[in-house]
Chains A and B, each alone.
Chain A
Amino acid sequence: MTFYELVQNSLRDSLGTSIPAFAPELLLCATIVMLLLGRMFSGGRSNLAYVIMMVGCLAAFVVAWRTDAPEKPVEIFTGMLVHDSFALFMRRLLLLFVILFTSFTRLSGTPDRQTATEFYTLILGATLGMCLMVSANHMLIVFLGIEMASVPSYALVGVIKERRVSAEAALKFAVFGGGAAGVMLYGISLLVGTLGTAHLPTMSVRLAELLGSSAGSEYHPILVLAGLMIMVGFAFKLSAVPFHFWTPDVFEGATAEVAAFLSIASKAAALALLLRVTLGLGHVPSTLDTPTTVPVRYAVSEDAGTATAESASVSGLVTDSNAALLPARQYSAWLIALFAAVTCTFGNLAAYGQDNMKRLLAYSTIAHAGYMLMPVAAAILLAGTDPEASRFTVAAIGFYIAVYLFMNLGAFALVAFLRNELGSEQLPDYAGLARRSPGFVICAAVVMFSLVGLPPLAGFAAKFAIFAQTYEAGLLSLVVIGVLNTLFSLFYYLRVVKTMVLDPEPEGRPAPTIRIWSNAGFYCALIAVLLVALGVFWNPLFAEAQFAASMLLP
């Protein structure tokens, strides 16, 4: 291949397929540059940063919205990323979230004009990483995406420089994050080293061969450990127990806005990535578009001498390979189910005695991570037996993520708006708010009920969908744990409502009123209406999620 051909090829690949599919991310990059330039000209005295941020995100969202999903998954940038309906769905969701989030920060007044540029730049950087995470097709991008999402998050936590709590939280977060990333990287190198490739579909082919061969059992410990270490990285991102410790401290130290970002976008992307990796490794695709760059050649063991050159004709082996991957699926499902059960239970129990709203929501985030991990285990198990049902499970997860986005955004928005009014984030200070701001408290109640999963709100529909699918996969015990946990969670979510509605107003508190017709009130009302609407008419969104999942497990 001559240099000329090389350039030609890479240009054709980039301009023809990759760049159009990657346009939203490129717009985000452009917005970052614009933000930095804008800061030079405005000097932080106007709302320019907010305007640029909003315009950039809207443009990216519109472009993502107008991008059509391809007929079948397309690998872009030489197989580093994959462009399919799932990636598109998740990116749209993330961009929609960033838009809602930006308007929320504007309403709550944090960041102020001075810090707006840094704040939004960091947010965009993290979002970019998350977009990479949801379309990752290569272990390198898996790690890169996680780090791109994490590093700005550390800085975001400490974005208020004067607060010592924030600084401590940021440091803890960074230490934890660094450790988890290191362990994950070690796991990834073990796995990639063993399989000789980092390209997910190729990895699944080789993994199937390895596990199907007689020498496979020798590699079991190393594969198992690699899986465990990779899971550590995910557990950190998802704040699954016992890698959750940073969550309450960081949420308490960070502003409610940053906590919202961490608890929603970060979780959504990590979950999507977890699905990509586990389903990608647990299933051999029936068609491989790009031939692997390195010939598939494998040595049984060192003693057996040189490799028996055996290039596998992939398509013929698919059924066998998928059967061979059974242990891999079972192992990852088992591991994830274990994490799910522990995380869910711990999160819900720990949320009990919390008086600080951000800590309470942190534990609630942990608990929800547990709920969301349950169907992941189900999807992995079903991938081997019934791909259709597995896709359906992924659809349920996608739906849950979408609903969770609105619920949690609503919850953190409430905390931020009340902080502005009351100057406090403690639950007892919310007592008797219903007397003065009934409309606002109704919105709060809708959000909390939805977080419990009470019908007819969106949270119920989402929870129902994932529990039904978990049951479908035969994980009855997980469903029981989930239902019991929902029962536990009733206590503390409703405690918030009870405090606002039933408890007497404390004396000598400034009389806060958040009118439902104010901007902030309207924002909350919008979310509450959305939660009711999604709870009653969930089919359109669910159909969208189903389409998103339709291209997985090709």
Chain B
Amino acid sequence: MTFAVLSGFLAAVVVPFLPRFGRYGTGRTVALVPAALTAYFGSYIQPVGAGETFRTSYAWAPALRVEFSLHLDGLGLLFALLVSGIGALVAIYAGGYLSGHRHLGRFYGFLLFFMASMLGVVLADNMLTLFVFWELTSLTSYLLIGFDHEREESRKAAWQALLVTGGGGLALLAGLLMLGEAAGTMELSELASRGGDVRSHALYLPILLLILLGAFTKSAQFPFHFWLPSAMEAPAPVSAYLHSATMVKAGVYLLARLSPAMAGTDAWWYLVTLGGTATMVCGAYLALCGTDLKRILAYSTVSALGVLVMLLGMGSVLAAQAAMVFLLAHALYKGALFMVAGAVDHETGSRDVDRLGGLWRAMPVTAAAAVLAALSMAGIAPFFGFLGKEMLLEASLESGGRWFLLPVVVLAGAVFVAVACMAGFRVFFGSSLPTPKQPHEAPLSLWLGPLLASAVGLALGLFASYAAAWIVSPAATAILGERTGHQPLKLALWHGLTPALALSGGSILLGLLVYANRGRILQMNRRLEVLLRHGPAWWYDLALGGLNRFALAQTRLLQTGYLRHYLLVIFAATVGLSGYVLIGSVELPARLLGPEIRFHEAALAGLLLLAALAAVRSSTRLAAVAALGVVGYGVALVFILYGAPDLAMTQFAIETLTVILLVLVLYRLPRYAVLSSRWVRIRDAAFALVTGATVTALVLAAVHGPAYESVSRYYAERSFAEAHGRNIVNVILVDFRALDTLGEITVLAVAAVGVHALLKLRPKNREDAA
């Protein structure tokens, strides 16, 4: 099984070089890979139908509970068959559609890469394995949508799809991690039995929201549905494969997979069912209003995905079975219709349903495939689509109290009928219309895929009981987890006269009515367009643009390139952080002001303040430096007053040196120029005062002194007793830490030699230059 999944990646590496060996036949050669995989997974139908499951795993990062593990059960098998089977058809189709394209090899590489990733998604057991493959499908989808990268729209669509699905994927990762934590396992196959823990977990709602975000973005659910129609910029094989049959169903797959553990709560019901319903309605409406064949199909796909999500949200046994039947039926007919749309586009040069007609004379086989698929979509017996629709109606009938679902479902069914009429009949029948290219029958490779897919749809309908027993039932079992077994799935074309049948007939009639009145709907839509302009796509653009503008503004505000602005922000942050601590914790010492302050202390303080003011107010650099020097000397005087003459000596020396250096440097600079405005100066002054206040508070906070004795007492006690010296500093320097002093002297000597050498070198260089 591992090899089956990974073989696609291997093939993807080899395939790009195939066209070099011959112009023709690449498509058919490549199709062998998915065909072989279909056969391989086909061989599992028997044992999986009998209730067996298969699992393989490899240690990946065991410390983090990450395994590379695969698991095959009914649900996985259904998807795996879809992915590989339709993959084979699409591979043949792409050979015809893109024949002679100079990057055909690359295209096949991406396609197989996608197929392998998608197989990984549906077969993964470890959640992280699933996520890895999930993101890979987003990535390959990006590459495939942007395949015609010469076109601006295609680049934009690819970008949009990647951001929406990739972003959703990250939410999914967070959700899966939390889910793994809540359930105590990262394996999906073990999750089913931990449902109770998950549902009662404190973080159930955030987990659900994050996972739904991932699933809804991937499966183009409202309000994230907008990326899917844009993604129709991709070549037709990609639309047929990724954006109708497989990738967009990954979200549905995930919901189905997590149903046993997470479904059954109110939150699940409302979020999933209502999300699905909203998508269904929205997609149906937009599908009706389109004229571009691919766009119509894309919106009807959105609507169908909504149906699937809604069914999974309902959570009943019947709904789960209905979801699987509908999913299979939809994948077959919608894939076929997309391929037909591509073939029509390829042969006539147009995709506008209003400008095409009577094509059956020129393209009889394509027309046949289209009609078969459209009948299935419209839900006409004996096609598989009929069964899907009937089960859907039954499931909504059964939902009882939530009555509002039923009319919505009937309406959506009607829209499917109308769309089927547009895609399957309008284009091919009626009077011929002139097209950009003279239409003629598509080559074998272009009609084989759709014809086969819709034929399978018919066959599954005719032999519904087998399909039910071997494929749909095991899949539904996997969704339902423990709750299954009571209601074995029976699929038959004739159930007798049930309400569902009546509703089904009604929806067909309604659909025809809608189709007949399409002109009016389009007119009405034009009036509504003003309202619809502010749809999710508009919000997406707004959010993206807003984020961009915000990011730029933030950067321009903070990253000005001026050192003084940087310093301002740094001071503000420091003051903010430490001020938060200092406020309330610092008490002013009681004797800050009082009679015991002596005159010379007050005078010194006044001198310091005056000097500081002078430094700020002076108009020349030299004066400012001099004033700063006064401040420094004043501090040294403070040291003397409080009994630290050695410290004062150091301070004097350093202060003198600094002033001299500053004077030397600043002497050459021009006079001050007042560059800042009055307000800026006030702001700076305020910041300076606040910073100064903070530092003062800091000093006051530090008055407690050390909690532990430092080494000073040690030296104080021993300097006379052991080293016979009364000046402790001297004793430390020449006795206790004599070796350090020696080292320091050495370093200084070396540095002096270096300075001397540099000074000596200079004149010589000048001579060289001269």
Residues of A within 8 A of B (CB): 172, 175-176, 179, 183, 190, 192-197, 206, 210, 215, 218-222, 224-225, 228, 232, 242-243, 245-246, 248-249, 294, 296-299, 301-302, 307, 335, 346, 349-353, 392, 395, 449, 454-456, 460-461, 464-465, 467-468, 471-472, 476, 479-480, 483, 486-488, 490-491, 494, 498, 501-504, 538-539, 542-543, 546
- CB–CB A221/B548 < 8 A: no
- CB–CB B578/A349 < 8 A: no
Q: Which of B33-41, B392-400, B643-651, B708-716 contacts A (4 or more CB under 8 A)?
A: B708-716
- CB–CB A218/B704 < 8 A: yes
Identify the 5 closest CB pairs spanning chains A and B, nearest first: A196-B708, A352-B551, A455-B132, A245-B566, A349-B551
- CB–CB B563/A172 < 8 A: yes
Among residues of A, the one whose C-beta sits closest to the C-beta of B131 is A455
- A183: chain B residues at CB < 8 Å are 574
- Can you list 30 pairs linking A and B with CB atoms under 8 Å apart? A175-B563, A194-B704, A194-B706, A194-B708, A195-B708, A197-B708, A221-B582, A225-B578, A225-B701, A242-B573, A249-B561, A301-B704, A352-B551, A454-B166, A456-B132, A460-B135, A464-B66, A465-B61, A472-B181, A479-B177, A483-B170, A487-B166, A487-B170, A488-B547, A501-B149, A502-B146, A502-B149, A502-B155, A542-B61, A542-B64
4 further A-B pairs in the complex, CB-CB below 8 A; given A197-B708, A242-B558: A176-B566, A222-B702, A294-B710, A454-B166
Say whether, besides A455-B136, A498-B155, A221 and B585 are in contact (CB < 8 Å): yes
- A218: chain B residues at CB < 8 Å are 704
Say whether, besides A221-B701, A350-B551, A455-B131, A464 and B64 are in contact (CB < 8 Å): yes
- A243: chain B residues at CB < 8 Å are 570, 573
Nearest CB in chain B: distance from A445 CB, A: 10
- CB–CB A461/B61 < 8 A: yes
* Residues from 55 to 101 in B contacting A, C-beta threshold 8 Å: 59-64, 66
Say whether, besides A224-B581, A352-B551, A456-B136, A538 and B708 are in contact (CB < 8 Å): no
- A352: chain B residues at CB < 8 Å are 547-548, 551-552, 555
- B548: chain A residues at CB < 8 Å are 352-353
Chain B residues within 8 Å of chain A by Cβ, number: 66
Complex Cα–Cα for A418 and B660 (A): 47
Q: Verify if B707 is at the interface (C-beta below 8 Å from A).
A: yes
- A210: chain B residues at CB < 8 Å are 707-708
Complex Cα–Cα for A465 and B62 (A): 12
- A346: chain B residues at CB < 8 Å are 554, 558
Complex Cα–Cα for A501 and B154 (A): 13
- CB–CB A353/B63 < 8 A: no
Q: Verify if B767 is at the interface (C-beta below 8 Å from A).
A: no
- CB–CB A490/B167 < 8 A: yes
Say whether, besides A455-B131, A494-B162, A219 and B566 are in contact (CB < 8 Å): no
Among residues of A, the one whose C-beta sits closest to the C-beta of B713 is A294
Complex Cα–Cα for A346 and B555 (A): 8
Complex Cα–Cα for A487 and B146 (A): 20
Nearest CB in chain B: distance from A536 CB, A: 8
- A454: chain B residues at CB < 8 Å are 135, 139, 166
- A539: chain B residues at CB < 8 Å are 59-63
- B550: chain A residues at CB < 8 Å are 349
- CB–CB A221/B559 < 8 A: no
Q: Verify if B173 is at the interface (C-beta below 8 Å from A).
A: yes
Contact with A along B143-182 (1 / 0, CB 8 A): 0001001100001001100110011001101100110010
Among residues of B, the one whose C-beta sits closest to the C-beta of A203 is B708
Complex Cα–Cα for A353 and B150 (A): 24
Q: Verify if B128 is at the interface (C-beta below 8 Å from A).
A: yes
Nearest CB in chain B: distance from A538 CB, A: 5
- A479: chain B residues at CB < 8 Å are 174, 177
- CB–CB B573/A298 < 8 A: no
Q: Verify if B597 is at the interface (C-beta below 8 Å from A).
A: no
Which one, A220, A221, A349, A471, contacts B554 given CB within 8 A? A349
Complex Cα–Cα for A176 and B566 (A): 9
- CB–CB B150/A228 < 8 A: no
Complex Cα–Cα for A222 and B705 (A): 10
Among residues of B, the one whose C-beta sits closest to the C-beta of A546 is B63
Nearest CB in chain A: distance from B186 CB, A: 10
- CB–CB A193/B62 < 8 A: no
- B469: chain A residues at CB < 8 Å are none
- CB–CB A196/B171 < 8 A: no
Nearest CB in chain A: distance from B243 CB, A: 19
Complex Cα–Cα for A189 and B582 (A): 18
Among residues of A, the one whose C-beta sits closest to the C-beta of B698 is A225
Say whether, besides A353-B555, A464-B128, A228 and B709 are in contact (CB < 8 Å): no
